[in-house]
Structure 1
Amino acid sequence: MDRRNFLKYVALAGSSFALTSCAQGKNSKLQGEMLPSASPVAVNEPLKVGFVYLGPVGDFGWTYAHDLGRRDMEANLNDKVKTTFVENVNEGVDAERVIRQLALDGNKLIFTTSLGYMNPTIKVAKDFGDVIFENCAGYKLAANVGNYLGRFEEPRYLTGMIAGKMTKSNVVGFIGAYPIPEVIRGINAFTQGMRSTNPKAKVKVLWVQSWYNPAKEREAAQALINSGADVLTQHTDSGAVVQLAEEKGIYAFGYNSDMSKFGQITHLTSVINKWGKFYTDKALAVMNNSWKSQSVWDGIAEGMVDISPMNQAIPADVQQLVNAKRDEFIQGTAHPFDGPVKDQKGVVRVPQGKVLDDRGQLAMDWYVEGIEGLIPKIKL
């Protein structure tokens, strides 16, 4: 099993999250009851906060972005918090052991940054009623457990708009980790954005069956270049794709964090996760005893996701177009899956004037028009 999925739960995750967590809308938050058993932090004592990471903090991807958020929280709250993290934690038994130890060590707020940590988090939380837990990308709630996720489909759409304008071959390569709704949603949002600026462009997808494997990511990127792609993007964690693009002189987008350091000339922008404000707000809520069990799914407007600064190689009129759409996302007047949305077979999945709701996004198992190939089957 791997980060953010629990492959054996993948068929349930989308619908369950939508049913138990998200109300339809741009900023979906289900308010829960304030935790009656939580004890306020003693005066003048820092709040101890623990983090559980699947990958290394130096992956420059998912884990790196979460650790930037942890460091932002420390900078915001100074001596009011004391943080610790454990990296390279596998799901299952290892995760439960690490989470339990963090609770035993006196951490009163614990962030578990993977859907694969969801069940271990719920299990440990039952034994530590005075500890608050937050699980990233999970769909289960409990009296002392909340969950959170970023609406990365918004910045994905924006990068797609750029790709449509920057490609010369009209072939864009996408390196995917696992064919689960989270990744498929990102590919589809990217393609919707790309087709809005260049209806002739198409997306080719290769799957590496790993979140962080620089060698496989590079190999897939090279294969996509060989098949005619002159722009690359990814839903994986390392900088290998951007590095190869820089070597080959083609454009690329980073993911999770600003990856411009890996491609100073050809990196166009990155889809970035920004966890610092969320972590700070949750720590403050625990400190003042106002924390509530809820599901949070926030976008650009709330500062949880965005794009990094755009490369000046992107024409000014394209940057203006992207910024205008970004403003529409912030204002709530546009959505990455505004209808009409067609699938690969030309079937209208979202009619004109409608928007694909949260349930539909979280259970997405189909490609939109403009993507080549089929979605691989996952063996449960």
Structure 2
Amino acid sequence: MNQSRNTKSFGLTRRRFLGTTAGTALLVAAGMPGALEAAEPLKVAGIYTVPVEQQWVSRIHKAAGIAQERGDIDYVFSENVSNTDYARVMREYAEQGYQLIIGEVFAVEQEAREVAAEYPDIAFLMGSSFKQDEALPNFAVFDNYIQDASYLTGIIAGSMTETGNIGMVGGFPIPEVNRLMHAFMAGAREMNPEITFQVSFIGSWFDPPKAKETAFAMIENGADMLYAERFGVSDAAKEKGVLAIGNVIDTQADYPETVVASAIWHFEPTLDKAIAEVRAGTFAAADYGVYSFMKEGGSSLAPLGTFEGKVPQEAMDLVNQRSEQIKSGEFTVEINDEEPKSS
């Protein structure tokens, strides 16, 4: 197993929990001035099946680093953990006394839940395609419900394509990918109902060469705009001189003439909620996916960077209008977890 554990991955120093918002809240609730001065940070472990540089996992890793910098948690992690080793690594961290274990169990749902059942006093917050089980109260689920921001990037893409042919490359057709693709497609059709889509899945979460080759084929088939759900797609767009839309992270600086816009996932609201619940002793089976919604601060449209002023004003006016409506609840982006198909 290629397992990497790193308690100093962010080069951070420990600060007293008393100085944090969560610490202050608990101090007030307890009514005991100074009672938490010696409180230890929450012990948190992350378990990831891909490198922490991979875009989806990088957002979890970043949020954990921010929480560690605040002094709220002590964070260690394992990356590149194979599916067959995942349950074993969960048990190792549980046996070592970690209080909150985070990760993604899309390919090991049953095994992960079985491990959680063995350690009822430990909180597990896991990326999952399934919902929580009330019979397993210490196992909560989340997913990147960033369909709001994805929809906005679709509006921009629909206004920028000249051929009306958009290529979309995804990892696997699972709900967390499907819903973002559908939201993007809905946004693009707001600008042009006649737009066609080429949709393909590469069967991997991290295979940039394969994603790149798939994107090349779509460009050959007429696409002048690509939805880069995976790494490698924007490289193909850059080489062929077409445009791309990013997903989960902002890569505009890396592809200044290629990536027009990106839907950004902010995991901080999700993790901060879990930390607070564990601290309060109220962590329970729940769906934390709601904290990825734009109105919760869990997603946003990245700055346009070099494309500022280059997107048609009609599209930007609609983006601004829809953004306000989404945040106020006046407009709801449909959540469609079905596998998207090519036009």
Tell me the TM-score range normalised by the shorter chain.
0.7 to 0.9
Q: Does the 8 A contact of 1:300 with 1:330 survive in 2?
A: yes
Q: Which runs of structure 2 are paired with 1:79-228 in the superposition (5 Å)?
A: 80-91=72-83, 93-137=84-128, 138-141=130-133, 142-228=136-222
- Residue 235 (structure 1) shift: 2.5
Partner of 1:348: none
Count of residue correspondences:
300
3-state SS of paired residue (1:115): coil
Residue 226 of structure 2 aligns to a residue whose secondary structure is: strand
Q: Give the superposition deviation at 1:46.
A: 1.8
Letter in 2 for 1:71: G
State the match for 1:243 in structure 2. 235
Partner AA of 1:277 in structure 2: P
Match of 1:325 in 2: 322
The residue aligned with 2:50 is: 55
**Aligned alpha-carbon RMSD (Å):** 2.0
Identity %: 27
Q: Is the Cα–Cα contact under 8 Å of residues 118 and 140 in structure 1 kept in the other structure?
A: no
Give the CA deviation at 1:144: 0.9
CA distance in 2: counterparts of 1:58 and 1:181, whole angstroms:
22
| TM-score normalized by the length of structure 2 | 0.82
Task: Spell out, residue by residue over 1:243-284, the C-alpha distance to the aligned partner (whole angstroms, 9 max, x if none).
Answer: 222232221011121111331122111122111222122112
Structure 2: runs of 5+ lacking an equivalent: 1-35
* In structure 2, C-alpha distance between the alignment counterparts of 1:145 and 1:179, rounded to whole Å: 24
Partner in structure 2 of residue 44 of structure 1: 39
1:42 to partner: Cα distance: 11
> When the two structures are superposed, what TM-score results if normalisation uses the length of structure 1?
0.74
Separation in 1 of the partners of 2:117 and 2:38?
26
SS of 1:55's equivalent in the other structure is coil
Which residue, out of 276, 301, 317, partners 1:284?
A: 276
Deviation at 1:43, TM superposition (A): 5.2
Query: How far 1:83 sits from its partner (Å)?
Result: 0.5
Q: Is 1:273–1:305's contact at 8 Å kept on the other side of the alignment? A: yes
One-letter code of the match for 1:173? G
User: Contact (CA 8 Å) 2:277, 2:283: kept in 1 or not?
Assistant: yes
Deviation at 1:366, TM superposition (A): 5.8
> Is 1:335 paired with 2:332?
yes
1:99, CA displacement in angstroms? 0.6
Q: 1:54 touches 1:113 (CA, 8 Å); kept in 2?
A: yes
Aligned to 2:301: 307
Task: Give runs of aligned pairs for residues 3-82 of structure 1, distance below 5 A.
Answer: 44-59=39-54, 61-75=55-69, 77-78=70-71, 80-82=72-74
TM-aligned CA deviation for residue 365 of structure 1:
4.2
CA distance in structure 2 between the partners assigned to 1:156 and 1:224 by the alignment: 20
**Where does residue 378 of structure 1 map in the other structure?**
none
Equivalent position SS for 1:290: coil
Is this contact kept in 1: 2:132–2:286, CA < 8 A? no
